[in-house]
């Protein structure tokens, strides 16, 4: 059993055993002794401790909760042994150069990370970050951006803005070293801090010289002004983009929720979709499937909209979040929603596997004349500005707070072989089995009325309450004996379908006319 201690490194709390603590304390004491007297020493020490804290976080897991000697030794091997590094500094400058060359060669093999470089930026540090990532001169990247923009290509400008938003800025010394592909160890941290101090000192001296009696170069002033102006314009664009994301996401989300609940929702006035989304699934799905479908559709559509709102808010307020956790979590839920909807769809497809057609007998019509008049009645008293959905020949409507499925029949005219006017109905539907398909076909409800020589067809057939849509169809055939006449009232426009005639007249041109059945087929009766 070992004694454990609690330590605070760079703001993080760790549990460490006594042996490891003594080794770590000796390691940090050596570093503090070396850097404590230098101007930039405190910052170097702080960055070294921050890197040690990162390594501990990487090494600790659910199995190992306590920092042990092995972890300390592994950390020292990563960071470098201070005695060897400091001995190199004191003994031989040539050895230091050799070590830097070796470090450089090693670091070139390391995988670089893409960051924006704030230390060498003109606008957002994108070009300098890309240059560090690819290991090329920043001037090349800037010239390429400028060249494509001058040639009239707008994509490089948009790409720059996107990278400015998406790519994180290299703030810590660790990030700056990773950006250049260098190992995050003591020597590289020291080198980076010293370079930063040197650049700050040179910039300060240059600024002090420019504030003296000498006149600044006019070209530099123009460049500085242009850079400031562009930064301002890009910030405004980012704000406008954020507002656009939030507005578009919020309005679409509210509209989607409204369409799932209310008739004549946001989409109603602007499209043919005048229907509450909660009713729609009832026409196709069973009770349990409806709940799963609702969850799936809310996840699949809602998550992208919420992410759009989140992206807009982040652009506006620039708050810090763990984007990877949020992104991967949202993607996981979204994929689950897709899988749920696909599974339900595959399950429902089985309800359409079989098809069945049912025919009625030929119903002979008794008339006192040789002319049969055909018209339609609007048998559904419904305001089409209320909720409805059109699916091919089927319409789903809400009437008196009830969902009703109605369909438009089709009507054709053929020659009768019995010498009498006849009407025949053909009902067709699909189902999970042939028996179920037959039941669905038989359930189609349709009426027509004969008043002597006048036949009034309903414009719509209906389905019983709680019946699901299974592609139900109804076809009416009116059989006309040779030598007898039919009249197609203009109200028949909705149901006539591809009536053959010897004149090849279009269906709608056959309305409000008399047609006689001849040996060769249906022909227009001359007045």
Rounded Cα–Cα distance for residues 251 and 64 (Å): 49
In the block, tokens 């959905």 appear at 389
pTM of the model: 0.49
Distance of CA 438 to the CA centre of its chain: 41
Q: Report DSSP letters for 63-122, one per residue.
A: S--EE-HHHHHHHHHHH--HHHHHHHHHH-HHHHHHHHHHHHHHHHTSPP---B-GGG-S
Provide the terminal-to-terminal Cα distance of the chain, rounded to the nearest Å: 115
Rounded Cα–Cα distance for residues 342 and 336 (Å): 10
Local confidence pLDDT in tens for the 527 residues of the chain: 678 888 888 888 888 888 888 888 888 888 787 776 666 677 777 778 888 888 888 878 656 678 888 888 888 887 777 665 555 454 444 444 444 444 444 444 467 788 888 777 777 788 888 888 888 888 878 777 777 776 655 567 777 777 777 788 877 777 777 777 777 666 666 666 666 666 655 555 555 555 544 444 555 566 666 767 777 777 788 888 888 888 988 888 887 777 666 544 444 443 444 445 556 666 777 667 777 888 888 899 999 999 999 888 888 887 777 778 888 899 999 999 999 989 888 887 877 788 888 888 888 888 889 999 999 998 777 665 555 666 667 777 766 666 778 889 999 999 998 889 999 999 999 888 899 899 989 999 999 999 999 999 999 999 887 778 888 999 999 999 999 999 999 999 989 999 999 989 999 999 999 999 999 999 998 76
Asked whether 374 and 457 are in contact (CB, 8 A), the reply is yes
Rounded Cα–Cα distance for residues 257 and 488 (Å): 46
Please count the helices (runs of H) and the strands (runs of E) in the chain: 14, 18
Rounded Cα–Cα distance for residues 141 and 126 (Å): 9
Per-residue tokens: 517? 């059945």
Rounded Cα–Cα distance for residues 32 and 38 (Å): 10
Q: Hey, is 306 helix, strand or coil?
A: helix
Strand order in the sheet with 461-462: 388-391, 394-399, 402-407, 461-462
Q: Hey, is 38 helix, strand or coil?
A: coil
Residue 399 burial (C-beta neighbours within 10 Å; 0-12, 13-18, 19+): middle
């Amino acid at each position: 059993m070992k004694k454990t201690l609690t330590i605070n490194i760079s703001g993080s709390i760790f549990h460490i055993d006594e042996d490891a603590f003594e080794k770590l304390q000796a390691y940090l004491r050596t570093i503090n002794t070396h850097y404590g007297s230098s101007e930039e020493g405190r910052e170097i020490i702080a960055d070294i401790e921050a890197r040690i804290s990162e390594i501990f976080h990487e090494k600790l897991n659910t199995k190992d909760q306590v920092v042990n000697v092995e972890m300390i030794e592994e950390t020292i091997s990563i960071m470098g042994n201070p005695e060897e590094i400091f001995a190199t500094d004191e003994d031989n400058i040539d050895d230091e150069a050799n070590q830097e060359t070796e470090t450089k060669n090693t670091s070139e093999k390391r995988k670089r990370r893409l960051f924006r470089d704030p230390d060498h930026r003109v606008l957002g540090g994108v070009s300098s970050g890309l240059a560090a990532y690819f290991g090329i001169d920043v001037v090349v990247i800037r010239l390429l951006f400028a060249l494509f923009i001058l040639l009239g290509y707008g994509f490089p400008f948009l790409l720059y803005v996107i990278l400015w938003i998406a790519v994180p800025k290299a703030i810590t010394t660790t990030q700056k070293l990773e950006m250049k592909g260098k190992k995050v160890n003591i020597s590289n941290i020291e080198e980076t801090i010293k370079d930063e101090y040197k650049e700050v000192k040179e910039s300060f001296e240059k600024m002090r010289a420019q504030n003296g009696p000498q006149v600044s170069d006019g070209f530099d002033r123009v460049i500085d002004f242009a850079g400031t102006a562009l930064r301002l314009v890009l910030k405004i664009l980012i704000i406008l983009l954020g507002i656009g994301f939030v507005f578009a996401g919020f309005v679409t989300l509210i509209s989607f929720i409204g369409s799932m609940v209310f008739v004549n929702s946001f989409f109603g006035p602007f499209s043919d979709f005048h229907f509450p989304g909660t009713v729609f699934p009832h026409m196709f799905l069973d009770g349990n499937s409806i709940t799963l479908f609702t969850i799936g559709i809310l996840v699949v559509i809602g998550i992208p909209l919420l992410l759009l709102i989140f992206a807009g808010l982040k652009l506006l307020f620039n708050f810090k979040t763990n984007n990877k956790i949020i992104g991967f979590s949202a993607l996981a839920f979204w994929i689950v929603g897709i899988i749920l909807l696909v599974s339900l769809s595959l399950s429902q497809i089985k309800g359409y596997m079989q098809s069945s057609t049912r025919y009625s007998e030929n119903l002979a019509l008794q008339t006192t004349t040789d002319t049969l008049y055909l018209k339609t009645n609007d048998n559904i008293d419904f305001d089409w500005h209320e909720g409805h959905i059109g699916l091919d020949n089927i319409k789903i409507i809400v009437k008196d707070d009830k969902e009703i499925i109605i369909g438009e029949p089709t009507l054709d005219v053929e020659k009768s072989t019995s010498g009498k006017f006849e009407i025949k109905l053909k009902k067709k539907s699909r189902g999970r089995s042939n028996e179920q398909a037959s039941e669905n076909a038989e359930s189609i409800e349709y009426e027509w009325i004969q008043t002597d020589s006048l036949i009034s067809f309903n414009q719509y057939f209906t389905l019983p309450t709680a019946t699901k849509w299974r592609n139900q169809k109804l076809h009416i055939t009116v059989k006309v004996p040779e030598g007898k006449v039919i009249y197609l009232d203009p109200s028949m426009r909705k149901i006539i379908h591809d009536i053959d005639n010897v004149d090849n007249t279009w269906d709608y041109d056959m309305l409000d006319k008399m047609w006689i059945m001849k040996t060769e087929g249906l022909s227009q009766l001359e007045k």
